[in-house]
Chain A
Amino acid sequence: EVQLLESGGGLVQPGGSLRLSCAGSGFTFSSYAMTWVRQAPGKGLEWVSVISASGGTIYSADSVKGRFTISRDNSKNSLFLQMNSLRAEDTALYYCAKGLYTVTTYYFDYWGQGTLITVSS
């Protein structure tokens, strides 16, 4: 059974940093692109960043470029999101999700339960 488990969320002050983790199991983690998608309270979905299976290709939304960094450790079946210079508008539930196929596509078939980031003083 495919499982994705996010962790690392919490309350942080504006300008602060957090590192999110996503542990994958039940599939060959190193074969799939992975992504982070966020959802502000009561709002829609916003794509944040994606990383290829090997980690060699990364794309990010303009809203987080220069502040957030996606990475992965395939030896540990783990995905990360380093979040720096956090702003109030980054407050959201952050989901990690798995690419649908081993061939790079950007459809996401399994999602974690999300981890909540609250940026507030």
Chain B
Amino acid sequence: DIQMTQSPSSVSASVGDRVTITCRASQGISSWLAWYQQKPGKAPNLLIYAASTLQSGVPSRFSGSGSGTDFTLTISSLQPEDFATYYCQQTNSFPLTFGGGTKVEIK
């Protein structure tokens, strides 16, 4: 199974900050990676797929990069509605696996 390791597990940031979350795969997954945002009590929301493709309707302050084993989600200017938990997911092979999540908290 491919293990997905996210770091940090939590980050405290202020509105307007640039936030970067990293996801590392235990083996190469090409660009078969998605990022989801989950707010408390809500279902996950797809932000980015294929490592860097912004899902329709997602603000452009979100961006994704990387390939192979190392990936990054960047929020260029944190907004109040961005405080949430973020998960990466690999779709290279079964079983599909998620990272452990990164909680973005208000500083």
Q: A: which residues have CB within 8 A of B? A: 35, 37, 44-47, 50, 59-62, 95, 97, 100, 105-109, 111-114
Contact = CB atoms under 8 A, between A and B. Distances in A.
Contacts of A111: 43-45
Q: Which of B46, B89, B96, B100 is most buried by chain A, counting CB atoms within 10 A of its CB?
A: B96
Nearest to A59: B94
5 contacts: A44-B99, A97-B44, A107-B89, A111-B43, A113-B43
Interface residues of B, number: 22
Nearest to A95: B43
Contacts of A114: 43
B34 interface: yes
Contacts, number: 55
Contacts of B98: 44-47
A47 B95 contact: yes
A50 B49 contact: no
Nearest to B99: A44
A59 B100 contact: no
Nearest to A62: B95
B46 A61 contact: no
A62 B97 CA distance: 12
Contact of B100 (A44, A61, A95, A108): A44
Contacts of A106: 91, 96
Interface in B18-58: 34, 36, 38, 43-46, 49-50, 55
